[in-house]
Structure 1
């Protein structure tokens, strides 16, 4: 069984660095484990909704706007709730967020299945997982400070949102939608790298049980949101290219 370096033969600084390395690795593993469980939970809820005519009818009949507003609201308030309340509250918010996304994605999955394109969902997930892994690894390992690009990315997200609304209500162009979709994928790929570095920098060796748990859940929440956004727009790109 592999073991860490023997601290008996280390200087004080070396022992501290080794402790930070092991602690940071365990902390990031918790972040990714939470995120992966959230993605799996979202997929399960989506499949339940996609195969239930009653649930599909309820969501498409008006509940979709409740889910949409709920996701936006949680996206805004969740960070404060997760870091200021208990671990139980942080977990509850995370699973509620993942569940609402699953319900919102259910009708999309049902549409692709009805068109005989169920495999496109699997392809989009594979592409998303590969892209996410690459950019998140970059964010974790790079020595470059990605902090300065945070403000630019937020402005880019706002610009893309405006472009989506303009295309939806005025232009209604498939070509413009493809350009916007590619822009979203590029921006949220960069966002994933930025968030990974930020989550890594949040780690402190002095953090104890509850504090570190809340940080891990919060980090998973951030990365989960970027993963789902990448998946939706990669799926949209594949759908446009098919047409």
Structure 2
């Protein structure tokens, strides 16, 4: 990784066609990055609230004092409908990825938060599988790790593009291994996928943060594009966070008996 000065042309950047001061540039960049983190945080909050709400609606206390499923819980977690719940977030990601440029900002914002809600419904089963204290503990570990990695990506003077390309290759490998393990059902392979996955999404978090910071120059001259790109950046970091959280939970979470 080579050292480089990402903001060497900051006073002339952002496609504005005019010279701006370094202070103006820094203020705009901070506002842009803050928007990304705000959208991501709101999306995580929506996902968490929907997941908890679905868990409360989907479970009850059985006659033996143990957790039992309501008809709603049985529908979203054990019936064929569970596949629609599991795959719906992927459909949203494809929609956002391929249609975002043609959507208005309002439509894009609504779709993004709708995706967060559907993701929350998809994640709600973790409250059935894992103990609540364990989920909270892993969430805070993920949040602290994500914050440190993103801060590193934002502040480092090292070019992380090489790391990013390597992580993308690792991501494709994880997808292939995950598909294979659907049929193999190997606990050892799943453990390896989770361990490697944590490392891959850790690397992607740092690289994506640096990449989003650098791309500010290209979008700052167009306010609408800037707003849309902020949302797409939030989607990227949100997915990194959620995937890291799920893999850490699989590795360290305490399961309900």
Q: The TM-score by the shorter chain falls in which range?
A: 0.7 to 0.9
Find the counterpart in structure 1 of residue 97 from structure 2. 79
Shift of 1:90: 1.2
Assess, with a 3 A threshold, how the Cα gap between structure 1 residues 173 and 150 changes in structure 2: closer, same or farther: same
Find the counterpart in structure 1 of residue 124 from structure 2. 106
Shift of 1:239: 3.1
Shift of 1:241: 9.5
Cα distance in 2 for partners of 1:55, 1:88 equals 31
Cα distance in 2 for partners of 1:62, 1:35 equals 31
Shift of 1:147: 2.2
Per-residue CA distance 1:93-119 (angstroms, 9 max, x = gap):
21121111100111221232xxxx210
2:181 pairs with one of 167, 189, 205: 167
- Identify unmatched segments of 5+ residues in structure 1: 1-11
Assess, with a 3 A threshold, how the Cα gap between structure 1 residues 107 and 241 changes in structure 2: closer, same or farther: closer
Cα distance in 2 for partners of 1:15, 1:165 equals 50
Considering fraction of residues, name the structure with more helix. 1
- Identify unmatched segments of 5+ residues in structure 2: 1-10, 13-18, 59-70
Per-residue CA distance 1:21-54 (angstroms, 9 max, x = gap):
1110011111101100100000000001111124
**1:201 and 2:206 correspond:** no
TM-score for both structures, normalised by structure 1: 0.85
Shift of 1:178: 1.8
Assess, with a 3 A threshold, how the Cα gap between structure 1 residues 50 and 168 changes in structure 2: closer, same or farther: same
Q: Is the 8 A contact 2:138 2:253 kept in 1?
A: no
Find the counterpart in structure 2 of residue 141 from structure 1. 155
Cα distance in 1 for partners of 2:29, 2:95 equals 27
Shift of 1:212: 1.6
| Paired residues, number | 227
